Amino acid sequence: MPYPKIDSSRLRVYPLESRKSKTKIEDVAIDPDSPPPPAPEIEAAIEEVAQRILKARKKKASVILAFGAHLVKNGAGPILINLLENDWITHLATQGGGAIHDWEFAYLGQSEEDVRTHVAAGTFGTWDETGRYIHLAVQVGAIFGMGYGEALGALIHNEGMDIPTAARLKEDIVNGLTSHDEFLPAKLELLETMEKFNLQAGFMNLAHPYKKYSVFGNSYRLKIPMTVHPGIGYDIIINHPYANGGALGRGGHIDYEIFVRSMSHISHGVFLSVGSAVMAPQIFEKALSFANNIKLQEGEQITDHYIFVDDLQKSAWDWERSEPKKNSPDYYFRFLKSFYRMGGTVRYVSADNRVLLHNLYAKMKELAGQTSSE
């Protein structure tokens, strides 16, 4: 017999505006064109990765940047947007927390809650609009083949989403039973959500007054892949009646396949992991293997890739020399262990992600300006 589970319909959610958020985007957003903080200790590393990025783009190779939620929460989104607009980044990847902070900033202009206080009160993550609109965006996007990231970007950029009629969904579902419609499960889930919550068909207007700060909205505008790699139970939106593990899994799976496609062009390219101690190395190693599996069938193999890793931890071990033994604490730095096993060239720096990205963007502008004047 199945184990007993909680009744999610009993969950009480609250208006997002009623939450006292810690961070306002207009207070923390970094102006990419302002002078970056001095960082002499990482100056050489910044020069190296900037040169690698420019060489990669000349070769039409992928430049992928994977980041943790703090990068968005710390106000570095505008730097990412400018990197995209200059065609220096070809793919962005984050986890569910990065998506949530980005959406809340775009919608309300503020994000981040007091975890200690809200867990004790049973309100942590139970914010109605955050869960409702992100889940709905993923479900609506799925019937068009969109992954989590593209669907959320479309919601923000378009300031709403187009919900089909129940009649149309039912007709598609009936036809799909015999035509092997790959979107059939997504249509069933969306229909169930519409009927359960009495949603009306048509364009659902949803203003995003701060969308200029949104990495997701701008990546959608620029048609550059922005993928989300979520974990069920990791993100606050799971504490919402709209939560649907099947839909989240589908959105994340579509995004993983998009990520692997970008990874298949990483030869002579660059992968940057910024403040992502677990997600980035985990998806990188699986995606590299997946991409190599197909490349080898075609008589090719991924080579000459450059991996640049930034985190705050300092490792006493010289990873350039060898991998530490299992009895060493350094062995358990996932963001070092995984990446140093991936071939290519690896560079690790310990730096504040805002300082790193701001200096990288400034260096990219400097080098690009030198190239254009030659």
Rounded to the nearest 5 degrees, what angle is found at the Cα of 89, between the Cα atoms of 67 and 108?
55
Q: Tell me which H or E stretch contains 117.
A: helix 115-121
* Three-state secondary structure call for residue 290: helix
Distance (Å, rounded) from C-alpha 32 to C-alpha 107? 22
Helices 128-142, 96-108: axis angle to 10 degrees equals 110
Task: Look at residues 128, 154, 159 and name the one whose alpha carbon lies nearest to residue 139.
Answer: 154
E-strand spans in the chain?
23-24, 63-67, 91-94, 110-111, 160-163, 202-205, 226-228, 270-274, 306-311, 345-350
Distance (Å, rounded) from C-alpha 57 to C-alpha 36? 24
Structure tokens at 259: 């990520």
pLDDT in tens, the chain (374 residues): 799 999 888 999 999 999 999 999 999 999 999 999 999 999 999 999 999 999 999 999 999 999 999 999 999 999 999 999 999 999 999 999 999 999 999 999 999 999 999 999 999 999 999 999 999 999 999 999 999 999 999 999 999 999 999 999 999 999 988 888 899 999 999 999 999 999 999 999 999 999 999 999 999 999 999 999 999 999 999 999 999 999 999 999 999 999 999 999 999 999 999 999 899 999 999 999 999 999 999 999 999 999 999 998 887 767 777 777 888 877 777 778 888 888 899 999 999 999 999 999 999 999 988 765 55
259, HSE (Cβ side, Cα atoms, 13 Å) = 32
Domains of the chain: 31-164+201-368 (3.40.50.10690)
* Three-state secondary structure call for residue 266: coil
Does the pTM surpass 0.75? The reply is yes
* Three-state secondary structure call for residue 311: strand
